């Protein structure tokens, strides 16, 4: 799996972190030490240094908060609210490494919307966007909070990363996704909308890229079997 250069830059930005900025809290006291050759000697002087340190700490906290917000924005899909391709490439590597280390199962679900282009072109882009949002809502509803993650990895392609789940257990997640879509719009029941799904379980001997390719191939195999 080849990462786009922008994705690599974002991962690097995340790794850098900003905790080191809290070291700036000591700057006022150190500045006095350099300039006067001594640390504050009386309570008033210490109070001034502490107040300055607290101001710096508050500013650092705000900078770190905004830094996290920028990272989250760069890794989320604006239309659906799910994680985007950048986050997927990062997450798949992390979860595969964790699965190898712990020996716990890991499943990947690839989802493609059947006849999406027909709806998007025939009923308008607003309706097409709503279809994408309906599937995203279904994925969010079916996923376990703080464990499973849903991604929009392409125009009408989605993925679910399910740590600790076997392929068989993942089938239940897909069933819940289908049920939620069916409750959202009759077009998921009566047509033309549908889901082609590929479910694969991680093999500790394969690379993350191979894991993704297997899920993608399984999804396209199901789509091909449905073609008229």
Give yes or no: residues 190 and 145 share one domain. Answer: yes
| Of 15, 44, 74, the domain-final residue | 74
pLDDT in tens, 13-47: 445 455 544 455 555 555 655 566 656 565 666 56
Distance in angstroms (rounded) separating the CA atoms of residues 91 and 97: 10
Q: What is the pLDDT of residue 225?
A: 85
**Would you say residue 79 lies in a domain?**
no
Name the stretches of the chain with pLDDT < 50: 1-14, 16, 20-22
Give yes or no: residues 69 and 111 share one domain. Answer: no
Distance in angstroms (rounded) separating the CA atoms of residues 15 and 25: 22
Cα Rg of the chain, angstroms: 24
**Would you say residue 191 lies in a domain?**
yes
Can you give the CATH number for the domain in which 208 is found? 3.30.70.270
Contact 158, 152 (CB under 8 A): yes
Report the domain count for the chain: 2
With H, G, I as helix, E, B as strand and everything else as coil, classify residue 228.
coil
| Of 35, 55, 74, the domain-final residue | 74
Count of other CB atoms within 10 angstroms of residue 1: 13
Any idea what DSSP says for residue 227? -
| Of 25, 42, 74, the domain-final residue | 74
Q: What is the pLDDT of residue 75?
A: 79
**Would you say residue 80 lies in a domain?**
no
Those residues whose C-beta lies under 8 Å from the C-beta of residue 26, and which sit 6 or more positions away, are 53
- Residue 151 belongs to domain spanning: 85-226
Give yes or no: residues 157 and 188 share one domain. Answer: yes
Q: Can you read off the two tokens belonging to residue 70?
A: 């920028």
Give yes or no: residues 61 and 40 share one domain. Answer: yes
Give yes or no: residues 165 and 204 share one domain. Answer: yes
Q: What is the pLDDT of residue 27?
A: 55
């Amino acid at each position: 799996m080849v990462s786009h250069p922008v994705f690599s830059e974002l991962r690097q930005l995340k790794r850098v972190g900003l905790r080191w900025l809290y070291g700036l809290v000591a700057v006022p006291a150190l500045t006095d030490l350099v300039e006067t050759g001594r640390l504050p000697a009386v309570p008033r002087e210490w109070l001034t240094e502490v107040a300055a340190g607290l101001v710096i700490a508050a500013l650092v906290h705000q900078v770190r908060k905004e830094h996290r917000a920028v990272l989250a924005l760069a890794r989320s899909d604006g239309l659906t609210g799910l994680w985007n391709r950048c986050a997927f490439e990062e997450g798949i590597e992390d979860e595969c490494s964790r699965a190898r280390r712990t020996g716990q199962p890991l499943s990947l679900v690839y989802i493609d919307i059947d006849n999406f282009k027909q709806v998007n072109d025939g009923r308008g882009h607003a309706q097409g966007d709503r279809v994408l949002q309906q599937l995203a809502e279904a994925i969010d509803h079916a996923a376990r909070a703080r464990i499973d993650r849903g991604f929009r990895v392409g125009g009408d392609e989605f993925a679910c990363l399910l740590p600790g789940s076997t392929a068989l257990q993942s089938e239940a997640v897909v069933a819940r996704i289908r049920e939620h879509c069916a409750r959202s719009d009759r077009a998921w029941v009566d047509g033309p909308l549908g889901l082609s799904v590929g479910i694969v379980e991680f093999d500790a001997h394969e690379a993350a890229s191979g894991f993704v390719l297997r899920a993608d191939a399984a999804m396209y195999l199901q789509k091909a079997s449905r073609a008229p």
